[in-house]
Amino acid sequence: MHFIPAADSPEMEKPLDSGLVWFRRDLRTFDHAALYHGLKSARRVYCAFVLDREILDPLVARGLKADRRLEFIVDSLAELDTQLQALTRCPNGGSGGLIVRHAVAREEIPRLAKALRVHAVFANHDDDPTALERDAKVRGTLADAGISFHTSKDHVVFERNEVMTGGGSSFSVFTPYKTAWLKKVDEFYLKAYPVQRHGDALATWPEDWEGDTRRNTGRVPSLASMGFEPTNLHSLKLPVGMSGAQVLLDDFLARIDDYEEARDFPAIKGPSYLSAHLRFGTVSVRHLAREALERAQAGSKGAAMWLSELIWRDFYHQVLHHHPNVVGASFKPEYDAIRWEHGKHADALFAAWCEGRTGYPLVDAAMAQINQTGYMHNRLRMVTASFLVKDLGIDWRRGEAYFADHLIDFDLASNNGGWQWAASTGCDAQPYFRIFNPVSQSEKFDPHGKFIRRYLPQLAALPDARIHAPWLASPLELAAAEIKLGENYPRPIVNHHEARAKTLARYAVVKGRGS
């Protein structure tokens, strides 16, 4: 269900007395669809966020107690609360701002809505299958209580059925999707929601409702109270919250013209580094697309390339909406006939990949980056994924799950789309016979070994010509660099050329079947 119509009108003409805005993957107070529609529709509006135990408790149970994503969220919630308080009318010194709960969201939101005696709950769309299931349960519980549930598009520029083929079906190839996207986009779709104009509808918490909220003086629960531990997030160069997103955006816009050439080289400052902020909505995708489109139209090739990346993001969300079966299965069903390596040997190869012990420096450095920072450069995501699937013969779903656990910017649609692209099992994926050579990729995109040296300091003394493949170095070169292969740096766990032949044979089951 979409939001109810609400015109710009005096407060007395608003159709609802009170509403609750449920924040999810949209942690900002500006250009926010659900917040805007809630403020336009109700005379009193409360705001809430639920740290969902259905998501968090399994992480604790699996021993993943240091989660940078959760720390990013917690820090961003603190800023969101502060900004909401600044917008909230508190004439008698009452409490306002963000109500934060550590609970089961599908139970807590209806409970909060009833306790606050609101007439409607407003939220933004989330097309992840588990989120859709959760929202369906929330909608049903709210309906039983006579409370409506209104959701809006916010996380992408175009969603669901907004960009379709001429025949009315969803796109499965990116280039025609991009053409249709660019043909459709205009000022209307990129216009910001003027939240601040209606901020006076934000209400203070009622005096007679649950005292447990007032005892929660910290508002946002601590990591420890939820069973988690601090991470190294604060030592990384990733500012959090709305203000952090603005800092990164300002920095990127000053160098966006160089993006097309710089984006593939992990040792230089090429990307926007905004992916985590897009994931958690501390920045507006409409604002980013508008900035990119205006610069692209003015002739910036870098901006045009960045806009294309934003369109890829919309594309993968459209694929997930129309083909939810891609979660756990290949977009191209025939690819599920591929026999992947399994057993103890496969487990050992997978562990070496996870821990950066493959003997291929660019792969190992990339895995060190994700393990140490929760981030991986996009070029390296392709390299490491290709290596796992097409050099080691490991099922792409194992790598997808590893990235899902470790990336701060983990987004189901993009992560699944990226892995299926690398594995050639997805829509508009690379051909199965395209297999990245990890050494040539290293030589091309980290020619001087700067990135490798940053994450594999034990290789720092190798000359540039040898750092991409240490096993080809002479005994004198290895001795001068104090490297003992098999001791302080591993030998390659697989021969790339032999692995390539095995991969072509492995994929023979789909040869000639539209691959």
Question: Which residues are part of the catalytic machinery?
Answer: 309, 312, 340, 378, 396, 419
User: 383 and 436 in contact (C-beta within 8 Å)?
Assistant: yes
> Within 10 Å of residue 324's Cβ, how many Cβ atoms?
14
User: 453 and 459 in contact (C-beta within 8 Å)?
Assistant: yes
Residue 424 CA to residue 418 CA, distance in Å, equals 10
> HEC profile for 52-94?
EHHHHHHHHHCCCCCCHHHHHHHHHHHHHHHHHHHHCCCCCCC
Q: Which residue has the tokens 């450095």?
A: 365
User: 40 and 16 in contact (C-beta within 8 Å)?
Assistant: no
Residue 162 CA to residue 347 CA, distance in Å, equals 43
Chain-centroid distance of CA 313 in Å reads: 10
Residue 82 CA to residue 242 CA, distance in Å, equals 11
Chain-centroid distance of CA 82 in Å reads: 24
The candidate with the shortest Cα–Cα distance to 274, out of 249, 311, 255, 295, is: 249
Q: CB-based contacts of 186: which residues, under 8 Å, 6+ apart? A: none
Q: CB-based contacts of 85: which residues, under 8 Å, 6+ apart? A: 96, 97
| Residue 415 DSSP one-character state | H
